[in-house]
Amino acid sequence: MIQAKDGRTLKFHIFRYNPQLEGDEPKMVTYEVKEAPGMTVFIALNEIREQQDRSLQYDFVCRAGICGSCGMIINGKPDLACRTLTSKFKNGEITLLPLPGFDLIGDLSVNTGTFNRAMSERVGTWIHDEQAAEKSLDELEERMDPDLADEIYELDRCIECGCCIAACATKRMRDDFLGAMGFMKVARFHMDSRDKRSDAAWYEIIGNDEGVFGCMTLLGCEDNCPKDLPHQTKIAFLRRKMVGVKV
Ligand code: SF4
Ligand code: SF4
Ligand code: FES
């Protein structure tokens, strides 16, 4: 292993609990790791698992901030372990906890899949167009304004990591609150010209306290989204739209 110039030793205080293990109790365990240049929290976790404790549970797939698997609470802030450099923690102490708001699998691993699936079904995260079945496959695709395509792409960058859900006080108090990830999906399909859902149809999904009217606008989502999605603007936009719907 290449040592960092100052060769400092990092201290990782990690939440450990395996709910599958009878008699196991939640606890914090400290591990020491020699810091290397460019080290991320993810790399350090790998070292701990390979060299100190093979039972440590955490998730990753891409190691590049794309799959959204490695979200965890890093020194009090939801973030991606694979995109967080250890060098940013000047005192070398790093506390890791699992993301709240999701079922715990074990240690730092949570089940975001069940939540994401339920959110997708609730929002209907696919293009809704009742005429689509009548269209011939030989027809050319509908044209889309490039600026609109760019705006949709901006929201499609959501990696479903769950950091915005973990950072949301409303979600913590109210389990049926849709949450910021859901609002980003709604905003994405609402602006898509191929999706024919009316504002009244969207109102059925988010025009209540479990939707945009329950959001307290404290913007934990905006502050903690590793992809810098425009939560504040889009939540305000959706709220304005829903206020305007005649019911
Ligand atoms: S909106 Fe941001 S924080 Fe929330 S799931 Fe998507 S990428 Fe993660
Ligand atoms: S602004 Fe709304 S969605 Fe975002 S964290 Fe606050 S309550 Fe949750
Ligand atoms: S491992 Fe994929 S986002 Fe971190």
Structure confidence by residue, pLDDT tens digits, 8-44: 999 999 999 999 999 999 999 999 999 999 999 999 9
Q: What angle do CA 173, 175, 181 make, to 5 degrees?
A: 100
As a whole number of Å, the end-to-end CA separation of the chain is 64
Structure confidence by residue, pLDDT tens digits, 160-184: 999 999 999 999 999 999 999 999 9
Q: Atom 3, ligand 3: which residue's CA is nearest? A: 65
Residue located via tokens 């890093």:
74
Separation between Cα atoms, residue 112 and residue 155, nearest integer Å = 19
Ligand with minimal distance to 187 CA: 1
Q: Atom 3, ligand 2: which residue's CA is nearest? A: 180
- Which ligand 3 atom sits nearest the alpha carbon of residue 66? 3
Q: 207 alpha carbon to ligand 3 midpoint, in Å? A: 33
Query: Quick one: how far is CA 66 from the chain centroid?
Result: 11
